[in-house]
Amino acid sequence: MRLESEIRDGVGVLHLQGRFVTGSDRELETARQYLEKMGIAKAVVDLTAVPYIDSTGLAFVVELYKSLSGRGGKLTLAHGNARVREVLEMTRIREIIPMFDGVEAAEAALHEHGAPVC
């Protein structure tokens, strides 16, 4: 698992790449703490380069959602492939965290009030 992060217009964008494996949760937790330290309350998790999401990835998404929500923030997801979308639907996470076809659309939704879920 590789993670690159950037802050764009007050939104943290986390670009994930590769498979979630045991031990990658440390890097993901560091990213969550970084957003908190920087005062970033809105974030996008870019799943473009994630072939599959497992319990480690689901735990990260849920913990990030809880962390941001607890500070009045929001989380969106972007670009999940069919396998990722299926797991997110089976676990009902997509009912809580909206997913968009692109990072830009996910960012825009964070700036709007009452944005539609794609």
Instruction: Please report, for the domain that includes residue 8, its CATH number.
Output: 3.30.750.24
Residue 67's pLDDT is: 92
Reported confidence tier of residue 114, pLDDT bands at 50, 70, 90:
very low
The Cα 66–Cα 74 span in angstroms is 9
Is residue 66, in this structure, part of any structural domain at all?
yes
Over the stretch 96-110, which tens digit does the pLDDT of each residue have?
A: 999 999 999 999 999
Is residue 117, in this structure, part of any structural domain at all?
no
Total number of domains in the chain: 1
Is residue 56, in this structure, part of any structural domain at all?
yes
Q: How far, CA to CA in Å, does 23 sit from each of 26, 40, 42, 106?
A: 6, 25, 25, 28
Give me the domain span that covers residue 20: 2-111
Q: In the structure encoding, which two tokens stand for residue 8, read together?
A: 């764009």
